[in-house]
Chain A
Amino acid sequence: MGEQSISNLFETQTIFADHKDLIHDVAYDFYGERMATCSSDQYVKIWDTDSQGAWRLTGSWKAHHGSVWKVTWAHPEFGQVIATCSFDRTAAVWEEVGDTNSAGSEKGLRTWVKRSNLVDSRTSVTDVKFGPKHLGLLLVTCSADGIIRIYEAPDVMNLAQWTLQHEIPTKVSISCLSWNPSLSKVNPPMLAVGSDEPNTTNAIANVQSDKSTACNGKVFIYEYSDGSRRWSRTECLAAVQEPVNDLAFAPSLGRSFHLLAVATKDVRIIKMEPLTDWNNPNNGSGARFKSEVVAAFEDHYSCVWRVCWNVTGTLLASSGDDCCVRLWKMQYLNQWKCAAVFKNESPTSDSAHAPRPRTAYVRMATMANAAHMPHH
């Protein structure tokens, strides 16, 4: 653990997580000092930094009976709490407690106890996120059958009790969601969800037959209205037509608009400006936002898996099928540019002797030779 390896310019630390299977999610806590990982081996692991900055495993337990897709931290004001969601159709809330039975010397031992198991979903729970803290202790899950569920813990000291506040059916398979983190009172609570429904003719027909959703985009914006006390779909981003693997709102940082990064076939950054007169009947389209694709990057070849914003929303990290992690940086005048590429590759990847867990190959592009491609 903590073995240092130098990649050409940046110094990365490698942690041997010892997960027996693919790691599906890594999440930092609010301070960036703890890390949670989850994997297909059904385990969740917690990592802490020590004073030297090295990562130390402090918790590891079998959390689910299926692949654990996502893990997320609650704001520390609610304690050390994480939520996980899994292929086993449940989401769970875990809290770290000191071991009350141990004597003084073993006091450092901490364990994570399951406070609640949310079993409402009938299919795999694909994403789970805690809401922004000013809304209270909220948890939202989404599942492959397209139902978004919003839970609330009415008593933040009692994490065993979660009431299902809202259930929003969407009719399409939902793969990811993101809260709008804006602290501004101007914006109502807002969620973006992305669908990974494949673009078969069937799906399009389904969507079109549904009158209420005339748009066949894959990203939907839901907003909570205080008046009607319910969540309603206020926007469907027509700019994204391909299945969405991940999306993330940028930290709002006092901007007057929202930035949404979407991982589909490419990395997309969408700027959404709230229109002030959207309730005005004169506003013909009835649109809630003026949305605009400010950047679309094809560099990940055909598929982007994850997108993640830094704390100020000025750097975007993305990962994709080319096995690279790329950083995108905002330049002057909202221009976005690639700032760095980290290749997940050991230098000897072309030889068969590369150590297995460290080896990764770049997906090669397709072939082209006249002899074997008669149609070209």
Chain B
Amino acid sequence: MSGHKLEVIWCPVHHDKFILRGSDITLYQVSRLKDIEKKTPYTQISPTRGATVIASQSANNVRCIDVSAIPDLPEPLLALGHSNGRVSLATLKQAYDPLGLVGRDFNTRYPRLCNSLSWSNNESNLLAVAMEKYRSEPCILLWDVNRGTLPPEESTSADSSLVNVDTVKPLAEMGLSETAHSVSWSNWSNRTLLASMNLKHIKIFDLRDWSNKGVVTASGRHVYGVCADPFSGRNLLLSLQRDSNTLRLFDIQQAHNDPNKANVLMDNMAEEAQTATAVEAELAELSRAGGAAGAGGEREAAAPSVLERELAAGGAALAAACWHPAHPARLLAAAHNGAVCELTVCERVTVSWGGGALAWSCGGSLRVLPRARARGAPTTAAGAPPGPDHDDVSHVMRRRAVTDYGLKPDLWQNADLADDEVLSGLWHFLALSKSLVEDGGGGCAQVLGRAREPRVRAAALALAGLAGLGGGGGGAEPLWRDALRLAAPALPDAYLRATLHFLAALHDAQPQPAALSAASLSAALMERDMRLEDRVALACLYLPDDDLREYLTATCAELVERGDLSGILLTGMGAEGVRLLQRWVERSGDVQTAALAAARCLPPELLRAPPAAHWLQEYRALLDGWRLWGARSALDTWVGLGVGVGGAGGVGGEDGEWCARGVSVSCAYCGKPVAAPPAHRRRPRLPPPAAKMKQMSSCPNCRKPLPRCGVCSLHLGGGGARFGGWFSWCVSCRHGGHADHLLHWFQEHTECPVSSCTCHCGSLDPPDRL
């Protein structure tokens, strides 16, 4: 308990000043770094703020201090509690003193340690002092600093103490022959003083009537300190239990200001800040209403729930901390080594994604960042605002899914929808190779020769070809060859580079231009920027067979490893192609293209096997989440076709994901399906259901009538193949009708449309969520 115990206090009036008490009492001024004059020594307490020393004095014999809340003082007024019980008022810096308070002294009759001081915030002239026990003397004294007057020049020496006692009487004296460890004014009503006494009581003094002091006593074990919640309307009281380092929070509003076991809101086994020895000093913050943290004592408290937060405060053990009087969540902390830093406690921000939109909490409110809208949407004049997912693959995939990407009947149509060169290359290749298979020949050159910028490349390759043919006459100077080779990397266009490499290689192989070796051509063939088709074509034209095979195998392996979609050219849509697509998915996240390409082109056995089936499941889940039911059912149709080609009727697969129909409607009398599933469609005696539906009002098998719609009383099945005309029914009461009639009905009713049925079908399955 030496004078070196650190303490920091923000000045309640001067919000930019604080007091640091160690072996000295020092007054600091906090200002922004850029406002601090040059050459002034300052302590940086945060990245933007620094503290400059205004004044300092020795803290000899000073046991406790508090800063007054008296308004309009030019400089912070301090009350100093000395070890002999004397309390003096002082400012650290000489300034005009309009109230003449500076230098006043308040003395007790018998000298003893002064434990705690507290200025009242409501009546700023009241000062409570807590002291040690002395015989039957009161231990809490209440002074009115305006009345306890002593002219400054007289309050000089120790001998004044006896004189003053007679002239200046405290306003109130409490706690006869007791020890008070801490005093603190409450904020919930006027003149209510909290004190912790004798290490075991919390006493609450109601001092509104000096002659009739109300006292509420609550006992607890080892109550060391006590303070009140300064902000909230609830009467919260925080006590520090010394035995267990427990913080106990009482809500005493409900129990007539009686802190007892019944209204302990919480016990917090918190390590006391002063005892924390960890490198990162701990500080518990109990969160407060509204999210924007307020301040209370050393810890914040409010609701019964507790959030404990640890803040890293420099590298040293924390010695003291103080909340800023005005700014929420701003905190000043002092470490044992005397370093001071300012911290700001941020609320715990929660964040969540939902369908491309991002939401996070911010104080008591939420911030929502809507998802990126489709390009060219007419909503805003200055172009669509970028969402958080803008240009992310999820947004791109959604945009493509809306356009029926991958679902067009002709494969090449998808290429234009992709809006991406790599993908459109894939779809073009798939389309061409399909036509190759179907037409049965002649397309090879077409596949390889397909070019996007035919002129540049044709020119380049023609140049290469010409040089190859006419190279014989050009002379084979090594100088020329080296020049070509050196010039190549400088060229921006891959085709020109390849041409030069190729020319150089030709010169190498001058004697037999027809048989170029792989080694000499490698530079040209490794031009990654050149389209794979062209490289392969070049290799096919000029490489000998062995080298060609080797080159193709190596290239293929490399492309699969990189997940480069153009590699489909070499792998085809087989097992190798699946591996390549898997890498593509992992690299780009574009499960859509993989799933669609698989659904359209993979052989059935591969389509049912893990990776492809997995892509399909994931893509279906994505479509579900985007509510793109049309795209999803079209996808399932394609998958059904793809799988159905090989495996006749048993299209279910082991996981049943693509059963042909999930639901079929069967006649209540004969049990036969009313509309035939596609597997039975080819049976000659049943006409196609869509055509039949138009006039169907009875079961096609047994001719019994179909049920009637509960709303329009017509027979079901007469509405054609539209969704709105289809059967729909309540699973509870089994009444039903045409889907659009029911939707319409349940927009206004919850009860079943069938009279005398009281089933609340509408509330069982809310239709507005459909």
Chain A interface (Cβ within 8 Å of chain B)? 9-33, 35, 37, 40-41, 47, 53, 55, 66-67, 76, 79-80, 87, 96-100, 104, 107, 110, 183-186, 251-257, 302-303, 305-315, 317-323, 325, 327, 329-330, 332-334, 340, 342, 344, 350, 352, 356-369, 371-375
Chain B interface (Cβ within 8 Å of chain A)? 15, 32, 41-49, 287-292, 302-305, 307, 310-316, 326-330, 337-371, 385-389, 392-394, 397, 582, 585-587, 589, 591, 594-595, 610-611, 614-615, 617-619, 621-622, 624-627, 655, 748-750, 760, 762-763, 765-766, 769
Q: A251-B618, A323-B346, A364-B48 are in contact. Are A311 and B314 (CB under 8 A)?
A: no
Measured CB to CB, the closest approach of chain B to A176, in angstroms, equals 12
Return chain A residues, CB-CB under 8 Å to B344.
Answer: 361-364
B interface majority secondary structure: loop
**B748 pairs with A104, CB closer than 8 A:** yes
Q: In whole angstroms, what is the CA distance A362 to B611 when docked?
A: 46
Q: In whole angstroms, what is the CA distance A360 to B328 when docked?
A: 9
Measured CB to CB, the closest approach of chain A to B309, in angstroms, equals 9
Return chain A residues, CB-CB under 8 Å to B351.
Answer: 26, 306-308, 317-319, 325
Return chain A residues, CB-CB under 8 Å to B47.
Answer: 364-365
**A325 pairs with B358, CB closer than 8 A:** yes
Q: A87-B305, A366-B312, A367-B340 are in contact. Are A352 and B355 (CB under 8 A)?
A: no
In this complex, what residue of A is CB-closest to B324?
A352
A–B complex contacts, Cβ < 8 Å, 18 sampled? A21-B303, A22-B347, A23-B350, A37-B366, A55-B366, A96-B766, A100-B760, A256-B611, A308-B352, A315-B353, A319-B350, A321-B346, A344-B360, A358-B365, A363-B311, A364-B341, A367-B46, A374-B338
Q: In whole angstroms, what is the CA distance A370 to B559 when docked?
A: 58
Measured CB to CB, the closest approach of chain A to B406, in angstroms, equals 15
Measured CB to CB, the closest approach of chain B to A161, in angstroms, equals 18
A interface majority secondary structure: loop
Q: In whole angstroms, what is the CA distance A359 to B345 when docked?
A: 12
**B618 pairs with A253, CB closer than 8 A:** yes
Q: In whole angstroms, what is the CA distance A358 to B292 when docked?
A: 8
Measured CB to CB, the closest approach of chain B to A11, in angstroms, equals 4
Q: In whole angstroms, what is the CA distance A367 to B315 when docked?
A: 10
In this complex, what residue of B is CB-closest to A110?
B766
Measured CB to CB, the closest approach of chain A to B415, in angstroms, equals 22
Return chain B residues, CB-CB under 8 Å to A11.
Answer: 369-370, 385
Q: A76-B769, A314-B589, A372-B43 are in contact. Are A10 and B386 (CB under 8 A)?
A: yes
Return chain B residues, CB-CB under 8 Å to A313.
Answer: 589
**B362 pairs with A360, CB closer than 8 A:** yes
Q: Top 5 closest A-B pairs, CB basis?
A: A32-B355, A28-B354, A364-B46, A98-B763, A67-B305
In this complex, what residue of A is CB-closest to B622?
A311
**A356 pairs with B356, CB closer than 8 A:** no
Q: A76-B769, A319-B349, A329-B392 are in contact. Are A254 and B594 (CB under 8 A)?
A: yes
**B617 pairs with A184, CB closer than 8 A:** yes
Q: In whole angstroms, what is the CA distance A255 to B328 when docked?
A: 46
**B766's contact among A15, A67, A80, A104, by CB below 8 Å, is which?**
A80
**A357 pairs with B364, CB closer than 8 A:** yes
Q: A305-B349, A352-B15, A375-B337 are in contact. Are A317 and B367 (CB under 8 A)?
A: no
Q: A315-B394, A364-B46, A368-B44 are in contact. Are A322 and B346 (CB under 8 A)?
A: yes
- Most-contacted residue by chain A among B310, B326, B354 (CB, 10 A): B354
Q: In whole angstroms, what is the CA distance A308 to B355 when docked?
A: 12
Q: A107-B750, A356-B328, A372-B340 are in contact. Are A28 and B350 (CB under 8 A)?
A: no
**A98 pairs with B762, CB closer than 8 A:** yes
**B366 pairs with A31, CB closer than 8 A:** no
Measured CB to CB, the closest approach of chain B to A43, in angstroms, equals 11
Return chain B residues, CB-CB under 8 Å to A26.
Answer: 350-352, 359-361, 366
Q: In whole angstroms, what is the CA distance A27 to B326 when docked?
A: 33
Q: A104-B748, A340-B388, A372-B340 are in contact. Are A310 and B353 (CB under 8 A)?
A: yes
**B355 pairs with A33, CB closer than 8 A:** yes
Return chain A residues, CB-CB under 8 Å to B393.
Answer: 312, 314
**B615 pairs with A28, CB closer than 8 A:** no
Measured CB to CB, the closest approach of chain B to A277, in angstroms, equals 17
**A98's contact among B370, B594, B766, by CB below 8 Å, is which?**
B766
Measured CB to CB, the closest approach of chain B to A342, in angstroms, equals 7
Measured CB to CB, the closest approach of chain A to B368, in angstroms, equals 4
**B45 pairs with A367, CB closer than 8 A:** yes
Return chain A residues, CB-CB under 8 Å to B610.
Answer: 184-186
Q: In whole angstroms, what is the CA distance A342 to B769 when docked?
A: 32
Return chain A residues, CB-CB under 8 Å to B352.
Answer: 25-28, 35, 308, 317
- Most-contacted residue by chain B among A40, A66, A76 (CB, 10 A): A40
**A254 pairs with B591, CB closer than 8 A:** yes
Q: A10-B369, A31-B627, A184-B610 are in contact. Are A21 and B394 (CB under 8 A)?
A: no
**A10 pairs with B385, CB closer than 8 A:** yes
Return chain B residues, CB-CB under 8 Å to A19.
Answer: 291, 364
**B15 pairs with A23, CB closer than 8 A:** no
Q: In whole angstroms, what is the CA distance A303 to B329 when docked?
A: 17
**B591 pairs with A314, CB closer than 8 A:** no
Measured CB to CB, the closest approach of chain B to A109, in angstroms, equals 10
**B625 pairs with A32, CB closer than 8 A:** yes
Measured CB to CB, the closest approach of chain A to B412, in angstroms, equals 25
Return chain B residues, CB-CB under 8 Å to A32.
Answer: 353-357, 371, 625
Return chain A residues, CB-CB under 8 Å to B49.
Answer: 364
Q: In whole angstroms, what is the CA distance A14 to B303 when docked?
A: 25
Q: In whole angstroms, what is the CA distance A12 to B307 when docked?
A: 28
**A14's contact among B330, B366, B625, by CB below 8 Å, is which?**
B366
- Most-contacted residue by chain B among A10, A33, A307, A332 (CB, 10 A): A10
Measured CB to CB, the closest approach of chain A to B366, in angstroms, equals 4
**A369 pairs with B655, CB closer than 8 A:** no
**B367's contact among A96, A255, A344, by CB below 8 Å, is which?**
A344
Return chain B residues, CB-CB under 8 Å to A334.
Answer: 586-587
Return chain A residues, CB-CB under 8 Å to B369.
Answer: 10-13, 342
Q: In whole angstroms, what is the CA distance A369 to B339 when docked?
A: 8
Measured CB to CB, the closest approach of chain A to B767, in angstroms, equals 10
Return chain B residues, CB-CB under 8 Å to A28.
Answer: 352-355, 357, 359
Q: A104-B749, A256-B582 are in contact. Are A309 and B305 (CB under 8 A)?
A: no
Q: A24-B348, A311-B394, A311-B622 are in contact. Are A359 and B328 (CB under 8 A)?
A: yes
**B388 pairs with A10, CB closer than 8 A:** yes
Return chain A residues, CB-CB under 8 Å to B303.
Answer: 21, 40-41, 67
Q: In whole angstroms, what is the CA distance A31 to B623 when docked?
A: 10
Measured CB to CB, the closest approach of chain B to A22, in angstroms, equals 5
Q: In whole angstroms, what is the CA distance A19 to B134 when docked?
A: 51
Q: In whole angstroms, what is the CA distance A375 to B279 when docked?
A: 14
Return chain B residues, CB-CB under 8 Å to A107.
Answer: 748-750, 762
Return chain B residues, CB-CB under 8 Å to A53.
Answer: 370
Measured CB to CB, the closest approach of chain A to B633, in angstroms, equals 16
Apart from A23-B366, A184-B614: 17 A-B pairs, beta carbons within 8 A: A26-B361, A27-B352, A40-B305, A41-B289, A100-B760, A100-B763, A254-B615, A256-B582, A317-B353, A322-B346, A325-B351, A350-B32, A352-B15, A357-B364, A361-B330, A364-B342, A373-B338
